[in-house]
Chains A and B, each alone.
Chain A
Amino acid sequence: MAFLELHGLVQRYGPVVAVDGVDLAVDRGEFLSLLGPSGCGKSTTLMAIAGFVEPTAGRIVLGGRDMAQVKPNRRNIGIVFQSFALFPHMTVAENVGFGLEMRSIAKAERTQRIAETLALVRLTELAGRYPKQLSGGQQQRVALARALVIRPDLLLLDEPMSSLDAKLREEMRVEIRDIQRKVQITTIMVTHDQAEALLMADRVAVMDQGRIARIGKPYEVYENPGSAFVSDFLGRTNLLPATVVGRSAGRLRVKIGAVEIDAVGEAPDGAAMVSLRPERLSFAAQGLPGTIESALFMGGQWFYRVATGIGQLSVIRPNEGGAHVAEGGAVHVAWPVDAARVVQG
């Protein structure tokens, strides 16, 4: 039995079905990311786990205990809100100490645990400051410390990085992940940023319109997305409408436009979609002929758009310092067989 289990969770707001039957099992110490576009029901799922909304249907079981009758302030769940929701009239130390105070922990132990937790998030020097005197990253670390100091059974993060600028976001991703590993706390993080989810989580659950479309280890979900929606949402991809025309030796034969190629995956004969990840495409002496329409320099890599017989393809090649292929140049696009994956439309 997993540490946290959701069974058929449904959440309706009047006519709106925000969460439409979510089943989920999270193991103790695991870091799971709920990933999906805005409005797909991620926050609602999180708020149901925290107890702030009462599920229309379904069960939430935490540590073997059904949560239906447990009030939010009795669930022992730490939450980092999107806005951080710090108490503006309290210092950093008072913010962090609030949860301990609510648990009637003695002053001496409180002081010690506040100090430990502030050290964990590297904020020791700022204990006496007020939230408004802190930068976004520091505020976020206070929010994290405040949630961790109560030693919750479960840590919930709702888009924790969305109000930080790009550079800080990248630093905080690694930092939060390291802290989570260190204290080994079961964590669910909601995000719409696929890079964040892939980098931080042990497992990723991709949500679409109130349901979990796919769940698995980041690498597996990325490589084998299952549906066009997931493959498009996770990273970039070239999605091409295709027809499955035959199969042999575990491979499918698909027809895209006038071109026939081999692909992997499972699908019945007939209409399907083929996903081709741009970073798995390369230019070779032989392959699908095409013309470079644009070549964009992105620092670490080149981003090409190539007109081919099966449509326009995005191709990403690492910048290896040498000459790149110029716009207008004729190329042949090639890929390993397992890069072409049949997904459901």
Chain B
Amino acid sequence: MAGKRVLLPYGLSLPAAAVLTVFMTAPLVMVLLLSFNSFTMATGIQPGFKLANYIEVLGDSYFHTIFGRTFLLALWVTGISILIGAPEAYVIHRMRPPWRSIFLLVILGPLLVSVIVRTLGWAVLLGRGGMVNTVLVKLGVLERPMEFMYSFTGMTVALVHVLVPFMVLSVWTSLRRLDPAVEAAGLSLGASQWTVLRRIVLPQAVPGILAGSLIVFTLAASAFATPAIVGGRRLKVAAMAAYDEFLNSQNWPLGAAIVVVLLVAMVAIVMIYNRLVERRFKQVFQ
């Protein structure tokens, strides 16, 4: 009887484990194995166990630029998402009931629209004759239209728009656990509203900001559609490079190596960041 009890949870998680193995672990392992194969135009994919692809990805300045751009982009997008998303979440947190759900819907609404559609929307807005340029020129901020399309700025703006709802959601979730009396307590002790926000609310929102940054960072670093449409061919990111190797050069092993490097780097960054923040804000994570 006792033995059965112990096994029951494992039995119950078996279907999920099976699905995960078939659809996630297996492809990952296959990609990993593929990355050690070799490829030439003449012979196609040759089985084997060589590190040549990794030497190329890690040694070639072409790939350095791509990976550098990818992580810089992810970093900027994450930073801006924190700056926009965290205050937005606080404002929603302070709203009264009917407005709160309305604005949550407004923020989450874009998630219901396909990334491609939203990004194409940005392409229209950011283009030379687009609304952003027209307004900036009319206002006298710019002398002549600026190139947002096919620029790093354009990619950042579009990705922030696509990903900021995740930040808002996760910060809002952690603010919901905040005891409302805590802010009143801070005020009664003589703190200004701003000090209360900075010294009392913000530290308690850290778990939400952390979770949000992890989501936004990983999604931004692995984003494909938005950088491809707004950034174009000249500003390749890692996901686009892998796509090119797979589908244009037919060099699957090299593409696989790019994917593995991206994945490993992302996991490493996420874990280090997580560890650092958790250590710094130990008390709010319990």
Contacts and interface: CB of A to CB of B under 8 A. Distances in A.
A345 interface: no
B7 interface: no
Given A102-B189, A102-B195, A72 B184 contact: yes
B259 to A, nearest CB: 39
Given A83-B181, A87-B182, A50 B190 contact: no
Contact of B191 (A73, A85, A146): A73
B283 A77 contact: no
B172 to A, nearest CB: 18
Nearest to A131: B283
Nearest to B190: A102
Contacts of B200: 87
A77 B281 contact: no
B179 interface: yes
Given A82-B181, A89-B203, A73 B187 contact: yes
A98 interface: yes
Nearest to A104: B190
A88 B191 contact: no
A99 B284 contact: no
A77 B190 CA distance: 9
B185 A81 contact: yes
B283 A88 contact: yes
A73 B203 CA distance: 21
Contacts of B179: 83, 85
Given A88-B284, A130-B283, A132-B283, A73 B190 contact: yes
A298 B236 CA distance: 81
A280 B191 CA distance: 52
A73 B187 CA distance: 5
B283 A81 contact: no
Interface residues of B, number: 21
Contacts of B286: 132
Nearest to A81: B181
Contacts, number: 66
A147 B203 CA distance: 22
A89 B187 contact: no
B199 to A, nearest CB: 8
Interface size bracket, A side: 20 to 34
Contacts of A77: 188
A329 to B, nearest CB: 53
Contacts of A103: 190
A88 B188 contact: no
A78 interface: yes
A34 interface: no
A102 B196 CA distance: 10
B190 to A, nearest CB: 4
Contacts of A86: 182, 185
B204 interface: yes
B186 interface: yes
A337 to B, nearest CB: 49
Contact of B284 (A78, A79, A89, A102): A89
Contact of A79 (B184, B192, B203): B184
Interface in B166-214: 179, 181-182, 184-192, 195, 199-200, 203-204
A89 B283 contact: yes
Contacts of B199: 98
A297 interface: no
Interface of B: 179, 181-182, 184-192, 195, 199-200, 203-204, 281, 283-284, 286
29 contacts: A50-B184, A73-B187, A73-B189, A73-B190, A74-B190, A75-B188, A77-B188, A79-B184, A79-B185, A82-B181, A83-B179, A87-B182, A87-B186, A88-B204, A88-B283, A88-B284, A89-B203, A89-B281, A89-B283, A89-B284, A98-B186, A98-B189, A98-B199, A99-B190, A102-B189, A102-B190, A102-B195, A103-B190, A130-B283
The 4 closest A-B pairs by CB, nearest first: A99-B189, A102-B190, A85-B181, A85-B185
